[in-house]
Amino acid sequence: MYKNLKNTDVFKKRVLVRVDLNIPIGDNLKIDKSEIWRLEAIIPTLKYLIKQKSKIILISHLGRPKEKKLSLKSVCNSLSKLLRKKISFSETLNVKKTIELMNFGDILLLENIRFDSREEKNSDSLAKELADLADIFVNEAFSVSHREHASIVGIPKYLDSCIGFLFEKEIDELNKVLKNFKRPLVAIIGGNKISTKIKVINKFLNISDKVLIGGALANTIFYSQGVDMSDSLVEKIDFNIDLDNKKLFLPQDFGIWDNNVVKYSDKVQGKALDIGPKSIDLFCSAIKSAKTIVWNGPLGLYTQKPFDKSSLEITKAIIKSKAYSVVGGGDTVEFLRKIKKDKKFNHISTGGGAMLNYLANERLAGLDAL
């Protein structure tokens, strides 16, 4: 069983904290202010460590350095403002002397760990190098803890380790829709790629009362059954899902873009970009009686009107149902924050892939490492 932060002695210790500061940075190197909530989520852990007079060393990644080399300097400034405390920054891992000279309660942020190619290779040498900087390791990066990277699974081999407050909250909340839920339990699963959601669909077909499928996931399922989906986005892959399961609810009609005209039909000619009004009614009816709801992935092209209609109506139905609700996935959270309804849900997860991984398998590489 993993340890949590409250049960770990961090008083006046050097504490290495893996956080997730991976938030969108514009070409002007300014942070997308709508994503500041991700930084706010780790503040309680940092304040606790400051109060415990720890020397705090932060590790994170930002973006995919192979595509665009992004420094954490700008994020460092934003986090410092939120915390109302100076955070030092180092471009190298050669910081033993710096840590030695730190006052208790000081914070040092290391440069984007993915600049070091050993991180994604889960290099033992990098894990040892990082572990050598501290006495305790705290994993506060739930959102990347499905990755077998050196800063996630390597460091715990060499240090006494635990999870932070945010990580602990994520697991507790997801367990409420996996183990401690009230029935009826309804899962709403959308998005683009069915390949990333096969396991979680099967999991909820097993434990929930209803599974509502929308988005391009539904397109792919219909395509696999020989239905002509015209120009719609589909994944041409084989997958193993019991499509005859009576808990599975698929769209009955679609919102379609065809020759610059929006129409609604049960047959697709053009691009299916949303579920249609019949489907929205069907899904909202299922939601109405739910006591527990988990939602991952928008049901239509939420960035373009009127194909955000299903996601809007589903949002309203969940809020009205007063069911215990847990939502995750980058696109879904972005949509809810855009329409300012994110605070109406019981829990908004900071993880997309990690959330799916934990829901499907009830485990994460980062947790296993602890």
Asked if 55 and 62 count as a contact pair (C-beta separation under 8 A), the reply is: no
CA distance 60 to 58: 7
Distance from the Cα of residue 264 to its chain's centroid: 32
Residue 23 has φ and ψ, to the nearest 5°, of -120, 155
Q: Which residues are catalytic?
A: 38, 193, 330, 353
At 337, list the tokens: 């924050």
Residues 19-30: b if buried by 16+ CB within 10 A, e if exposed: bbbbbebeeeee
Q: Residue 323 class from Cβ within 10 Å (0-12 exposed, 13-18 middle, 19+ buried)?
A: buried
55-59 and 14-18 strand pairing: parallel
Instruction: Name residue, tokens 């934003």.
Output: 78
Sequence-separated contacts (24+) of 338-347 with Cβ below 8 Å = 338/34, 339/312, 339/315, 341/315, 344/315, 344/319, 345/318, 345/319, 346/173, 347/169, 347/173, 347/176
The torsion defined by the Cα of 225, 277, 313 and 229, in degrees rounded to 10, comes to 30
CA distance 286 to 250: 12
CA distance 35 to 23: 6
Q: Render 66-114 in DSSP notation, one character per residue.
A: TT----SHHHHHHHHHHHTS--EEESSS--HHHHHHPPTT-EEEE--GG
Residue 345 has φ and ψ, to the nearest 5°, of -105, 155
Q: Render 178-218 in DSSP notation, one character per residue.
A: HTSPPSSEEEEE-SS-GGGTHHHHHHHHHHSSEEEE-HHHH
